[in-house]
């Protein structure tokens, strides 16, 4: 096909040997994508992707899972240069695409396409199916208009639709068929790499199965490489060769699918896997229910991103004997303090506080009563709590948090962990527990939640 | 009749039909379904989108808007003794003592009247004498038979409406509610949690304000007392720092917190029955786990009955005691949750279970070919037949009705011509044909 010619800028670069084995298609190193505040004073950026590194091998399916807001979609979009990377490199066959611009970028994009989550909003309702699928061909001026029409019809065949559908409009199709149209459009330029952003989340389970089968068939037929973004772990388990688990802009664990699902190394993966409801009512599992919600990516924790919710957080040695429930309450207290620190206090609140009326914040006593009223608090913990209470009463939450961290913090809160190799198969985990100093995650979870 | 026990259903849905009348066609979104919910139990309803799950919930809540309405012949009985007593004392004009009515009328004579186009078969009975009067009245035929007034909705079957505290049995017919009795039922006795917490909260009022609204309407609390109640409710659903949160707006809450607030609102009036319409579909798995835990705790604490709608088989397996599988407006299989997952009998249920990734050994996922049809005509065949791998000729001519799947398996029913399995297929088809004839009051062939 003629587009081999236009491949040139990249094709010449691929001849340059890369530093790793030739099997690798995409190398991502220290990638960061921040959303800056557009305001005059700037302020803190939202750290959607905060330093990730991984490889994608040719022909494989890499799964990317995580909760909403963890940055998985942003990562996918950055890989396709739909978002500008703040820092780091994305080497696609050896070329750093973050530096590409203008015509080079336009040409490169033939190679990498995306399927979006919601088939209701990713197709233009005013265009016929033919026009939608043909658009990428038109944009890249692929051969003659006649050949384009022919190609579109072939594509409709490929994804399991009929050629007559060319002249129909999107509203005449069901969700599953619309997703097929979306996939046909993606394949129009014969890309090597496709980002699938939750392609089946909006579909019913039986339709979902059809689309998954189709994706697998297409991969075999055209030798595609997929980045499969999803929050449904059972789909990922079925489809992917390797999985990366993301939390708050960081990859917490990456490894071969089977190994990661049967023997997760990171506490977050443990919790995520145990939270999936099994379609089998007889299964009795010890579910690890995580407390609270992920932190605001504008204010990520200083240490490990997962430290605020971690079920296996390292606790300071002097408080190791405290009750688990008391630890939960202490964590809630810290969350409350940091939330209050950021909550804006209106003039009305300040006035009410001055004249001694109830403010919407409630008093520290009420909070303490709610949190620790039914707990046995040892004296040494109580003395720290008293100190925090004094500070919180004066609305010095920042200082109160500092006191809290001084007493109850640990390496998890202070230092970001490093990636540790868990096995030989490229299975890595981002957690302090993998150093020899501390007990293993499995043992701790068994102990605390077993 | 005896005093209600804990195994008696609190909600008894019989032959519920809800249709939407559009210019083009009549869509029978819910087409004659029957199920019950017992006290303290969770009944799951599962099915693909478009199968009528949400319309079922909305019909029970009385939230079906024009052009849709619940058809005559539908009955949803709320069998809660305290509610019946309260309604009987608050609305004596709308209360009927069925014992007195029964003394005056003879059911056999009723069916002979020419004004009524009705057969005993419509109630699943062979003889006119067997049809309970309560059923006739509940299904809405009482008005034209001259038995009850149009707005009667509380029916006492044991005891006298004149002394409400001594009523021993009776029910409130939900499909006949209107005005004040309906408002008291909605929210006060049956509450609902919707799918998307962001659209079920009003963005311009604080969360506290919205909780206080139902506290004010149903419990009559005002001012400081109402605020305190709202705070207590938020604490009960696990929202920390409730005193501050109560004055915040929905956008300041995270998704899980919002759903907790919606649950707090639903619980504000201590309902007997909580209807959850896909409450966790919009949430992440870790947050979903929190909400499922919360619902289970609340249920144990308050002895709530729950109706739980979802399309996620995993969630259903986890939370429900019994499951109804819906397809194109009909319930195709009903069973205890363990039995449904280990021994599904309806081909549709099997297909659903097999299409879940990770549930089968092979490389390829099993699929169900085709789409859920729109039920726009009364069923004369099996609606699943075009997609069914086991379909045979009779599937296109005989409409299957829910029957026990096997001898003695009364709690496990499936609407498939292959059931009951202990009989030969011909016998089974005959049974479906007969039951069908009774249901529609005429021969289908």
For residue A18, pLDDT beyond 60: no
User: Is the CATH number of domain B190-306 3.40.50.300?
Assistant: yes
Query: Who contacts B157 (Cβ-Cβ below 8 Å, separation ≥6)?
Result: B1, B98, B99, B134, B169, B170, B171
3-state secondary structure of A338: helix
Give B338's contacts in chain A (Cβ within 8 Å): 281-282
B89, with CB counted inside 10 A (0-12, 13-18, 19+), is middle
Q: Which of A213, A293, A366 sits opposite B256 (nearest CB)?
A: A293
The two structure tokens encoding residue A385: 């709590």
pLDDT of residue A52: 93
For residue A199, pLDDT beyond 60: yes
Q: Using the beta-carbon criterion (under 8 Å), do B367 and A209 form an inter-chain contact?
A: yes
Q: Which of A271, A272, A281 sits opposite B337 (nearest CB)?
A: A281
The CB-side HSE value for A83 (13 A sphere, CA atoms) comes to: 20
For residue A291, pLDDT beyond 60: yes
B2, with CB counted inside 10 A (0-12, 13-18, 19+), is exposed
Q: Report the share of chain A in percent with pLDDT over 90.
A: 43
Give Dmax over CA atoms of chain A in angstroms.
Answer: 83
- What distance in Å separates residue A339's CA from the closest CA in chain B? 10
Q: Using the beta-carbon criterion (under 8 Å), do B244 and A343 form an inter-chain contact?
A: yes
pLDDT of residue A168: 93
Q: Using the beta-carbon criterion (under 8 Å), do A238 and B317 form an inter-chain contact?
A: no
Q: Using the beta-carbon criterion (under 8 Å), do B243 and A237 form an inter-chain contact?
A: no
Q: Using the beta-carbon criterion (under 8 Å), do A276 and B371 form an inter-chain contact?
A: no
Phi/psi zone of residue B309: left (φ > 0), alpha (ψ -120 to 50 degrees), beta? Answer: beta
- What distance in Å separates residue A231's CA from the closest CA in chain B? 7
Strands A61-65 and B42-46: unpaired
Q: Which of B228, B245, B356 would you mutate first to test chain A, the one with the most A CBs within 10 A? A: B356
Neighbours of B239 (CB within 10 A): 20
Which DSSP string corresponds to B199-259?
A: HHS-TTS-HHHHHHHHHHHHH---HHHHHHHHHHHHHHTT-SSHHHHTTS-GGGS-HHHHH
Task: Give Cα A371 distance to the centre of its chain.
Answer: 32
Given pLDDT bands bounded at 50, 70 and 90, which one contains residue A12? very low
CA separation for the pair A271, A290 (Å, rounded): 7
Contact B95, B154 (CB under 8 A): yes
pTM above 0.80, yes or no: yes
Higher pLDDT, A160 or A340: A160
- What distance in Å separates residue B256's CA from the closest CA in chain A? 8
Q: Using the beta-carbon criterion (under 8 Å), do A216 and B364 form an inter-chain contact?
A: yes
Q: Using the beta-carbon criterion (under 8 Å), do A206 and B351 form an inter-chain contact?
A: yes
CA separation for the pair A329, B7 (Å, rounded): 39
The two structure tokens encoding residue B292: 């499922």
Average pLDDT taken over every residue of chain A: 85
Given pLDDT bands bounded at 50, 70 and 90, which one contains residue A11? very low
DSSP, res B186: B
Query: Who contacts A355 (Cβ-Cβ below 8 Å, separation ≥6)?
Result: none
| Domain segments of chain A as ranges | 3-240, 317-409
CA separation for the pair B279, B197 (Å, rounded): 8
Give B288's contacts in chain A (Cβ within 8 Å): 275, 277
pLDDT of residue B142: 75
- What distance in Å separates residue B409's CA from the closest CA in chain A? 19
Q: Which of B52, B232, B289, B335 would you mutate first to test chain A, the one with the most A CBs within 10 A? A: B289
Q: Using the beta-carbon criterion (under 8 Å), do B341 and A272 form an inter-chain contact?
A: no
What would you report as the CA-atom Rg of chain B, rounded to the nearest whole angstrom?
23
3-state secondary structure of B107: helix
- What distance in Å separates residue B295's CA from the closest CA in chain A? 14
Given pLDDT bands bounded at 50, 70 and 90, which one contains residue A269? very high
Give B285's contacts in chain A (Cβ within 8 Å): 67, 231, 233, 272, 275-276
pLDDT of residue A324: 81
| C-alpha torsion angle, residues A103, A104, A105, A111 (rounded to 10) | 120
pLDDT of residue B193: 92
What is the sign, positive or negative, of the torsion defined by CA atoms of B214, B220, B226, B230?
negative
Alpha helix positions (H), A312-450: 324-342, 347-354, 364-372, 379-393, 397-408, 411-414, 441-449
Mean pLDDT along residues A154-172: 92
Higher pLDDT, A240 or A291: A240
Q: Using the beta-carbon criterion (under 8 Å), do B358 and A206 form an inter-chain contact?
A: no
Given pLDDT bands bounded at 50, 70 and 90, which one contains residue A5? very low
CA separation for the pair A343, A361 (Å, rounded): 10
Superfamily (CATH H level) for A3-240: P-loop containing nucleotide triphosphate hydrolases (3.40.50.300)
- What distance in Å separates residue B265's CA from the closest CA in chain A? 20
pLDDT of residue A34: 92
- What distance in Å separates residue A212's CA from the closest CA in chain B? 8
Q: Using the beta-carbon criterion (under 8 Å), do B289 and A205 form an inter-chain contact?
A: no
pLDDT of residue A159: 93
Q: Using the beta-carbon criterion (under 8 Å), do B49 and A204 form an inter-chain contact?
A: yes
CA separation for the pair B404, B306 (Å, rounded): 24
Q: Which of B255, B337, B357 sits opposite A238 (nearest CB)?
A: B357
Give A371's contacts in chain B (Cβ within 8 Å): 240
Stretches where chain B sits below pLDDT 70 are 1-7, 106-129, 144, 359-362, 437-445
CA separation for the pair A229, A174 (Å, rounded): 22
- What distance in Å separates residue A266's CA from the closest CA in chain B? 15
Residue of B nearest to A235 (CA): B357
Q: Using the beta-carbon criterion (under 8 Å), do B355 and A280 form an inter-chain contact?
A: no
Nearest of B22, B11, B27, B23 to residue B373 by alpha carbon = B27
* Strands of B262-301, DSSP E: 273-277
Partnered with residue B19 across adjacent β-strands are B69
Given pLDDT bands bounded at 50, 70 and 90, which one contains residue A414? confident
Out of A36-50, A91-105, A423-437, which region has the weakest mean confidence (pLDDT)? A36-50
Give B342's contacts in chain A (Cβ within 8 Å): 282
Residue of B nearest to A294 (CA): B254
Contact B3, B27 (CB under 8 A): no
Q: Using the beta-carbon criterion (under 8 Å), do B317 and A209 form an inter-chain contact?
A: no
B224, with CB counted inside 10 A (0-12, 13-18, 19+), is exposed
Give A291's contacts in chain B (Cβ within 8 Å): 290
What is the arrangement of strands in the sheet containing A46-57, beginning at the earlier edge strand? Answer: A46-57, A24-35, A87-92, A95-96
3-state secondary structure of A50: strand
For residue A308, pLDDT beyond 90: no
- What distance in Å separates residue B385's CA from the closest CA in chain A? 16
Give A70's contacts in chain B (Cβ within 8 Å): none
CA separation for the pair B273, B308 (Å, rounded): 11
pLDDT of residue A61: 95
Q: Using the beta-carbon criterion (under 8 Å), do A205 and B286 form an inter-chain contact?
A: no
Contact B295, B15 (CB under 8 A): no
Give B198's contacts in chain A (Cβ within 8 Å): none
Q: Using the beta-carbon criterion (under 8 Å), do B285 and A276 form an inter-chain contact?
A: yes
Q: Using the beta-carbon criterion (under 8 Å), do A281 and B312 form an inter-chain contact?
A: no
Given pLDDT bands bounded at 50, 70 and 90, which one contains residue A436? confident
pLDDT of residue B125: 64
Query: Who contacts A226 (Cβ-Cβ below 8 Å, separation ≥6)?
Result: A60, A61, A62, A193, A194, A195, A196, A215, A219
Strands A24-35 and B95-97: unpaired
CA separation for the pair B356, B353 (Å, rounded): 6
**Start-end of CATH 3.40.50.300 domains in chain B:** 190-306
Give B337's contacts in chain A (Cβ within 8 Å): 281
Helix (H) or strand (E) holding A208: helix A205-222
Q: Using the beta-carbon criterion (under 8 Å), do B342 and A282 form an inter-chain contact?
A: yes
- What distance in Å separates residue A427's CA from the closest CA in chain B? 22
pLDDT of residue A439: 85
- What distance in Å separates residue B192's CA from the closest CA in chain A? 23
Q: Which of A213, A239, A289 sits opposite B289 (nearest CB)?
A: A289
Give A209's contacts in chain B (Cβ within 8 Å): 355, 357, 365-367
CA separation for the pair B316, B325 (Å, rounded): 11
Contact B181, B87 (CB under 8 A): yes
The two structure tokens encoding residue A217: 């068939």
Q: Using the beta-carbon criterion (under 8 Å), do A231 and B353 form an inter-chain contact?
A: no
CA separation for the pair A413, A303 (Å, rounded): 4
Encode pLDDT of A52-70 as tens digits.
999 999 999 999 998 888 8
Query: What count of residues does chain B have?
Result: 445
């Amino acid at each position: 096909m003629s587009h081999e010619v236009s491949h040139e800028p990249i094709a010449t670069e691929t001849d340059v040997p890369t530093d790793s084995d030739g099997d690798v298609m995409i190398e991502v190193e220290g990638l960061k994508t921040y959303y800056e505040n557009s305001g005059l004073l700037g302020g803190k950026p939202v750290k959607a992707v905060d330093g990730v590194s991984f490889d994608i091998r040719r022909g494989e399916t890499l799964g990317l899972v995580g909760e909403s807001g963890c940055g998985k979609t942003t990562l996918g979009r950055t890989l396709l240069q739909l978002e500008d990377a703040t820092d780091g490199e994305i080497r696609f066959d050896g070329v750093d695409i973050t530096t590409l611009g203008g015509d080079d970028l336009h040409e490169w994009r033939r190679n990498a396409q995306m399927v979006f989550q919601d088939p209701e909003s990713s197709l233009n309702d005013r265009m016929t199916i033919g026009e939608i699928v043909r658009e990428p061909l038109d944009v890249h001026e692929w051969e003659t208009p006649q050949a384009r029409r022919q190609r579109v019809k072939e594509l409709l065949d490929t994804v399991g639709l009929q050629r007559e559908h060319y002249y129909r409009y999107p509203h005449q199709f069901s969700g599953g068929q619309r997703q097929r149209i979306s996939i046909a459009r993606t394949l129009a330029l014969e890309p090597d790499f496709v980002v699938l952003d939750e392609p089946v989340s909006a579909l019913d389970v039986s339709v979902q199965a059809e689309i998954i089968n189709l994706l697998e068939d297409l991969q075999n037929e055209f030798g595609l490489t997929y980045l499969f973004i999803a929050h449904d772990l059972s789909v990922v388990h079925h489809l992917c060769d390797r999985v990366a688990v993301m939390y708050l802009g960081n990859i917490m664990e990456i490894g071969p699918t089977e190994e990661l699902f049967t023997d997760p190394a990171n506490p977050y993966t443990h919790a995520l896997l145990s939270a999936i409801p099994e379609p089998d009512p007889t299964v009795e599992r010890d579910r690890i229910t995580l407390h609270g919600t992920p932190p605001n990516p504008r204010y990520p924790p200083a240490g490990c991103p997962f430290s605020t919710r971690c079920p296996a957080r390292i606790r300071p040695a002097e408080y190791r004997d405290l009750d688990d429930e008391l630890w939960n309450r202490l964590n809630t207290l810290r969350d409350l303090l940091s939330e209050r620190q950021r909550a804006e206090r209106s003039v009305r609140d300040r006035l009410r506080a001055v004249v001694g009326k109830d403010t919407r914040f409630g008093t520290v006593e009420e909070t303490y009563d709610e949190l620790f009223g039914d707990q046995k608090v040892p004296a040494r913990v109580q003395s720290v709590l008293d100190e925090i209470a004094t500070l919180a009463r004066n609305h010095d939450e920042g200082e109160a948090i500092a006191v809290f961290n001084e007493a109850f913090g640990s390496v998890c809160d202070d230092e970001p962990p490093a990636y540790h190799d868990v096995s030989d198969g490229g299975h890595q985990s981002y957690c302090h527990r993998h150093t020899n100093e501390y007990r293993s995650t499995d043992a701790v979870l068994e102990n605390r939640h077993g | 009749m005896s005093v209600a026990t804990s195994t008696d259903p609190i909600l008894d849905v019989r032959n519920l039909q809800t249709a939407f009348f559009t210019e083009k066609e009549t869509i029978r979104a819910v087409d004659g379904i029957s199920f019950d919910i017992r006290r303290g139990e969770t009944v799951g309803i599962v099915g693909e989108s478009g199968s009528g799950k949400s319309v079922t919930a909305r019909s029970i809540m009385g939230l079906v808007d024009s052009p849709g309405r619940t058809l005559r012949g539908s009955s949803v009985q709320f069998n809660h003794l305290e509610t019946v007593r309260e309604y009987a004392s608050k609305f004596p004009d709308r209360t009927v003592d069925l014992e007195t009515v029964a003394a005056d009328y003879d059911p056999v004579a009723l069916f002979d009247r020419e004004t009524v186009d009705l057969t005993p078969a419509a109630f699943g009975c062979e003889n006119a004498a067997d049809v309970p009067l309560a059923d006739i009245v509940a299904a809405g035929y009482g008005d034209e038979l001259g038995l009850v007034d149009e707005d009667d909705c509380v029916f006492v079957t044991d005891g006298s409406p004149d002394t409400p505290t001594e009523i021993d049995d009776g029910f409130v017919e939900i499909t006949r509610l209107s005005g004040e009795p309906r408002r008291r039922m909605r929210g006060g006795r049956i509450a609902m949690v919707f799918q998307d917490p962001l659209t079920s909260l009003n963005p311009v009022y604080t969360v506290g304000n919205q909780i206080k609204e139902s506290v004010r309407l149903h419990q009559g609390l005002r001012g400081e007392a109402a605020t305190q109640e709202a705070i207590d409710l938020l604490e009960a659903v696990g929202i920390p720092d409730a005193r501050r949160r109560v004055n915040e707006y929905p956008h300041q809450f995270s998704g899980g917190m919002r759903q907790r607030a919606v649950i707090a609102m639903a619980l504000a009036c201590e309902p007997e029955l909580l209807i959850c319409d896909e409450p966790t579909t919009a949430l992440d798995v870790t947050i979903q786990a929190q909400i499922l835990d919360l619902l289970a705790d609340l249920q144990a604490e308050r002895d709530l009955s729950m109706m739980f709608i979802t399309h996620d088989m995993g969630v259903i397996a986890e939370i429900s005691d019994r499951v109804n599988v819906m397809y194109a407006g009909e319930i195709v299989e009903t069973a205890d949750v363990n039995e449904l997952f280990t021994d599904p009998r309806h081909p549709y249920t099997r297909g659903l279970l097999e299409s879940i990734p990770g549930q089968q050994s092979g490389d390829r996922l099993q699929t169900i070919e085709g789409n859920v049809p729109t039920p726009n005509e009364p069923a004369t065949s099996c609606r699943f037949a075009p997609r069914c791998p086991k379909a045979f000729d009779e599937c296109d001519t005989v409409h299957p009705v829910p029957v026990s799947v096997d001898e003695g398996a009364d709690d496990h029913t499936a609407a498939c011509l292959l059931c009951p399995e202990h009989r030969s297929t011909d016998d089974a088809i005959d049974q479906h044909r007969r039951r069908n004839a009774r249901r529609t009051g005429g021969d289908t062939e």
